[in-house]
Amino acid sequence: MIGSFSTPVYWYEGPASWTPALGSLAPVTEAEDSLVPVVLVKGPKRTGKSSMARAALNTLLGEYQQVAWLECDLGQGEFGCGGMVGLWIVDRPVLGT
């Protein structure tokens, strides 16, 4: 059966407090066309850093064809295995935000 999953799939929506930060990633004006957004997400363990970073990535992909993701979390990689630093060029939204 198409659309049948053995594990339930749920919609995810980030906290409302993220809205201003994600909204600030809006495209730059023509006068600022040489500027590109840079996002740094940091904080204590288990505070939603990975979820916030994926939400920012997906927001940027709504405006740009590609987004560079510099992976520096040596304990838990998003795209690569743990213990590695990597630069990823992402061109599709990432699920699991």
pTM of the model: 0.74
DSSP 32-62: GTT---------STTSSHHHHHHHHHHHHHT
On whether residue 31 sits in a domain, the answer given is no
Could you give the number of structural domains in the chain? 1
pLDDT of amino acid 1? 45
Determine the 3-state secondary structure of 68 from DSSP.
strand
The whole domain housing 59 covers: 1-26+36-97
On whether residue 71 sits in a domain, the answer given is yes
On whether residue 46 sits in a domain, the answer given is yes
On whether residue 61 sits in a domain, the answer given is yes
Q: Is pLDDT at 89 greater than 90 in this prediction?
A: yes
E strands present in the chain: 67-71, 86-90
Task: Please tell me what DSSP assigns to residue 46.
Answer: T
On whether residue 17 sits in a domain, the answer given is yes
pLDDT tens profile 7-32: 666 666 778 888 888 888 866 666 65
On whether residue 63 sits in a domain, the answer given is yes
pLDDT of amino acid 97? 44
On whether residue 73 sits in a domain, the answer given is yes
On whether residue 45 sits in a domain, the answer given is yes
Is the CB of residue 71 less than 8 Å from the CB of residue 80?
Answer: yes
pLDDT of amino acid 82? 75
pLDDT tens profile 43-76: 888 888 888 899 999 999 988 899 999 988 777 7
